[in-house]
Structures are given as C-alpha cells and as structure tokens.
Structure 1
C-alpha cells in the first residue's frame, strides 16, 4: 500500500492524503520562492518531521522507562541556503514540563532523541542544532 497520494492543486499548492488514515496536509511554496506561504512548505515539513520524530521516539523511550514527557514542546527553525536552494540547518529546541527529570531520565531523553529515523535519514550536510531545556 502506498504511504500517501499527492495532488498538485495549482498556484504552487499541493494536497497530500495519508492513505491509511485519510488525513490531509496542504503545502504552499514559501513567499521567498514565489509562493503565498499560507501553509507549510515542503521544506518546512522536512524540518518539522525531525521534531515530530524525535518527540515520538522520546515518548516511546519515556513510556518504557516509566516517566512521561506529556506537554513537551519542540520549536523548529529551518535555515535555507542557496546555490542550490536547500535546507542547510534545522534548529530544534525542546522545552520539557517541570517534571524534575533525573539525570538518568535526561540521558534517556537525549540519547533516544538523537536516534530517531528522520535524524539518521537527513543528509549529513544538514546541520542539526538540538537543545534540551528541562
């Protein structure tokens, strides 16, 4: 089964449907690349996927080790480069709720975050700047 089906809607906008669930994501070209910037751009999704994946993997590890990360947020900043136009850096800043995490919990969090599949899938030339705030 396919993962998704993408339709070009015109005006530099696409819609992607997740085949299993039917959920839909809209993308627009960014304003700095002839678009309206009214939705995530494809490169926004690339960068955002890193934070989503890291939180998911940390959530799995936290559950396995008996603590919670519920309420944790991750702010993503995407830095673009030119010639060729590409993502050059993704900055991920995690803010954990006041849970009095032990040093062991923090090591589990940080090690698991840095082993997510998206982190490993990104080209090594993309700088990944990760900050964990407890």
Structure 2
C-alpha cells in the first residue's frame, strides 16, 4: 500500500500527501536550479529528514531512559555539488539548553543519532557532519 501520493503542480512545484494523516508538503525547485525557491526543495527535504530522523531516534532512547529532550534544537546546512548536481554534505548542529549531566546517556543519544535509518540509508558519498553542543 502506498505511503505518499504526489502530484506535479506546475512551474517545478510538486505536492505530496502523506496518506495516513492527510498532511501535505509542497516542494519547489531552488532559485539556483530554475525554481522560485518558495518552498522546501526535494534536497532540502532529504537534509531535513536526516536531522528529524536523528532526533526521533534520540527521543526513543531518551524516553527509554526517562529523560526529556526539551530545549533540544538543531540547524541543518545542505551543501550541493555540481556535475552532477547532488547533495555533497549535510551538516547538523545540535544545541541543548539543559543537557543531562550523565555522560553515558549523552553518548547513547549521540550514537543513536548517528545510526538513525536516514543516516544509514544515505550514500557514503554524502558526508554527514554532526556537531553536538552538549
């Protein structure tokens, strides 16, 4: 059974609907690739998915350990290559206002992030630079 149904709208824009929830995502080609840059590009979604997946898996570990991740934020930087045009590197910078003092727990969270399904699914040609400010 499909997970997502997508439609080409016009002018390098697509709409994708998550069938279980009915939620929709619009993508737009970036300005440097003939688009308007008015929404996430498909490669932006890949980069965003990496950060979100890392935090989701960290959240599972945190729940199991009885810890809240409140205040955890992250920024994603996507670096593109040309010839061929593709994602060269994804940089994730994590910050946590009130991290745990438990160094073993912090290491578990870092390990969980680096072994999330998206991280393991990306080609080794896509550098994953992950910085933890905690």
Structure 2 unaligned residues grouped into runs of 5+: none
- The answer (yes or no) to whether the contact 1:77–1:91 under 8 Å persists in 2 is yes
Assess if the C-alpha contact under 8 Å between 1:69 and 1:97 holds in 2.
Answer: no
| Aligned equivalents of 1:93, 1:85: Cα separation in 2 | 24
Q: Tell me the TM-score normalized by structure 1.
A: 0.97
Q: Please report how far the alpha carbon of residue 65 of structure 1 lies from its aligned counterpart in structure 2 after TM superposition.
A: 0.9
Q: Which runs of 4+ in 1 moved over 2 A?
A: none
RMSD, matched Cα: 0.8
Aligned length: 134
- 1:46 is paired with a residue whose SS is helix
CA distance in 2: counterparts of 1:72 and 1:53, whole angstroms: 14
Q: Unpaired runs of 5+ in structure 1?
A: none
2:37 corresponds to 1:67: no
Contact 1:62-1:69 within 8 A present in 2 as well: yes
**Partner Cα separation in structure 2 for residue 7 and residue 101 of structure 1:** 48
TM-score, normalised by the number of residues in structure 2: 0.97
